[in-house]
Amino acid sequence: MSIEGVVEGLLEFAFYYPLFMTYVWMIGAVYYFYYRENSDHRRYDNPPELKKTPPVTYLVPCHNEGDNARETIQALLEQDYPEFEIIAINDCSGDSTGEILDEIAAAEPRVRVIHFDQNQGKAMGLRMGALASRHEILVCLDGDALLDKHATRWIVRHFNDGPRVGAVTGNPRIRNRSSLLGKIQVGEFSSIIGMIKRAQRIYGRVFTVSGVVAAFRKSALQKVGYWDLNMITEDIDISWRLQSNHWDIRYEPNALCWILMPETLKGLWRQRLRWAQGGLEVFLRYWPSLMNWKKRRIWLVVLELVVSTAWAHLIALIFLVATVGLFIELPPVLRGAAFLPGWAGVVLGATCLLQFGISLAIDSRYEPRLGRYYYWMIWYPMVYWTIQTAATLVALPKALRKPRGTRAIWTSPDRGIRIK
């Protein structure tokens, strides 16, 4: 094959890969919606009757959540579920988190608090909470999350379905929508994250549970050794280990959970860099063992991660060549990379708008006025594709250089812009 043919093939891959994946996600999500999610036409606030209501433990690891911990615990105390306990883990917070949790526990016997005198990280907090728990089903939430009062019933029905259900991930919804970034993320969680999880459940395995709202079978966690203390994204790590050991992970879109997200570019960059690095760390650690034929159902998840990483590096190279072409004359073989084909941009843009429209139509059953954010989604490709590509480029060398056994500890979370 000639050099011209290689360059042309790379350019076509850079264009067709996101286009192909978008249609894969849309088809899978639409199928999931009609044949699983909406098959019984129940609203999220009308959960099914459960034949069994096993007791539940809520685990809430907190680090500097003084502004949010009280309302998070209060939302759990108001759950429409007969028997539960709440274990809050205060991981060496430097604010009033510990005092607030102790005050709640003193007034409410269903709440217990574990205090760490050193920063141990979220994975250690979850692990200690799980070991201290009294019940088999563990619902894990971030310290800013507000769980919908009906969510627990929707989650537990999956564990009642069969003993091989190891985890259930919920449906995060954005609370803070005062800035452009906040409004864009409303669309992202609907059109990208929610759509991908629906599609992945149809095609095989999910890439990860949601770190802000996920439930686990305690015996499944015991089998795989609980959360890894050294992974910066413990949710991706535990998802891969559970599924590679033949535990099923379900997605429950009716289990709504309202969360706070970064509303500054700095906070967003730190979050996306951590996500990208965490996924690559998990891949680098486990890919040799995942080549076993018995673990083939997770191969599509691994393949998508590898191809997406390669695509991000190719996009960066194309933009670099295009930028250089503005200042110097490139060889003829590279000039094609210096121009954005006009029709390609139109096709990608139209596909993105179609994806946004489908996702909003699906998610409108949870938020009836979600369509008003459709306009803000036009900024999604410019902001997020740029950040995601850059995060992948930076994350790969960080993941490769990270020493084995380095403990993943907390940094103060970015919970968006607060109006005093």
Q: How many domains does the chain have?
A: 2
- The model's pLDDT over 6-40, given as tens digits with 9 standing for 90+, comes to 877 888 888 888 888 889 999 999 999 998 888 77
Task: Look at residue 400 and tell me whether its pLDDT is greater than 80.
Answer: yes
**CATH label of the domain that carries residue 220:** 3.90.550.10
Q: Is the residue at 133 inside a domain?
A: yes
250 and 176 share one domain: yes
The mean pLDDT value of the chain amounts to 87
Q: Are 141 and 147 in contact (CB under 8 A)?
A: yes
Neighbours of 219 (CB within 10 A): 11
80 and 151 share one domain: yes
CA 272 vs CA 109, 149, 267, 363, 407: distances in Å: 38, 29, 9, 23, 20
- Show the domain range for 165: 44-274
Q: Is the residue at 212 inside a domain?
A: yes
106 and 221 share one domain: yes
Q: Is the residue at 50 inside a domain?
A: yes
Put simply, whether the predicted model's pTM sits higher than 0.85 gets the answer yes
- The model's pLDDT over 197-210, given as tens digits with 9 standing for 90+, comes to 999 999 888 999 99
Closest CA to 182 of 376, 412, 420: 376
Residue 375 structure tokens: 């306009």
383 and 242 share one domain: no
Distance separating alpha carbons of residues 162 and 204, to the nearest angstrom: 18
Q: Is the residue at 32 inside a domain?
A: no
- The model's pLDDT over 326-352, given as tens digits with 9 standing for 90+, comes to 788 877 766 655 545 566 667 877 888
150 and 225 share one domain: yes
114 and 196 share one domain: yes
78 and 208 share one domain: yes
Distance separating alpha carbons of residues 138 and 242, to the nearest angstrom: 15
259 and 357 share one domain: no
Q: What is the mean pLDDT of residues 304-330?
A: 85
Distance separating alpha carbons of residues 343 and 365, to the nearest angstrom: 34
159 and 259 share one domain: yes
- The model's pLDDT over 235-262, given as tens digits with 9 standing for 90+, comes to 999 999 999 999 999 999 999 999 988 8
Residue with tokens 């110097």: 328
Residue 346's pLDDT is: 77
Q: Is the residue at 34 inside a domain?
A: no
- Among residues 221, 242, 274, which one ends one of the domains? 274
Q: What is the mean pLDDT of residues 44-52?
A: 91
Lowest mean pLDDT among 62-71, 188-197, 331-340: 331-340
Residue 40's pLDDT is: 75
- The model's pLDDT over 355-392, given as tens digits with 9 standing for 90+, comes to 888 888 888 888 877 777 676 666 666 666 778 788 99
Residue 75's pLDDT is: 96
246 and 313 share one domain: no
93 and 181 share one domain: yes
Q: Is the residue at 26 inside a domain?
A: no
Residue 336's pLDDT is: 58
Q: HEC profile for 261-322?
A: CCCCHHHHHHHHHHHHHHHHHHHHHHHHHHCCHHHHHHHHHHHHHHHHHHHHHHHHHHHHHH
Instruction: Provide CB contacts within 8 A for 385, sequence distance 6+.
Output: none
Distance separating alpha carbons of residues 263 and 321, to the nearest angstrom: 32
Closest CA to 24 of 150, 193, 203, 147: 203
324 and 195 share one domain: no
Sign (positive/negative) of CA torsion 108, 220, 232, 203?
A: negative
Residue 241 sits at the vertex; the CA angle it makes with 237 and 246, to the nearest 5 degrees, is: 150
- The model's pLDDT over 254-306, given as tens digits with 9 standing for 90+, comes to 999 999 888 888 888 888 889 899 999 999 998 888 888 888 888 888 999 99
Q: Is the residue at 292 inside a domain?
A: no
Task: Look at residue 148 and tell me whether its pLDDT is greater than 90.
Answer: yes
- Among residues 274, 289, 319, which one ends one of the domains? 274
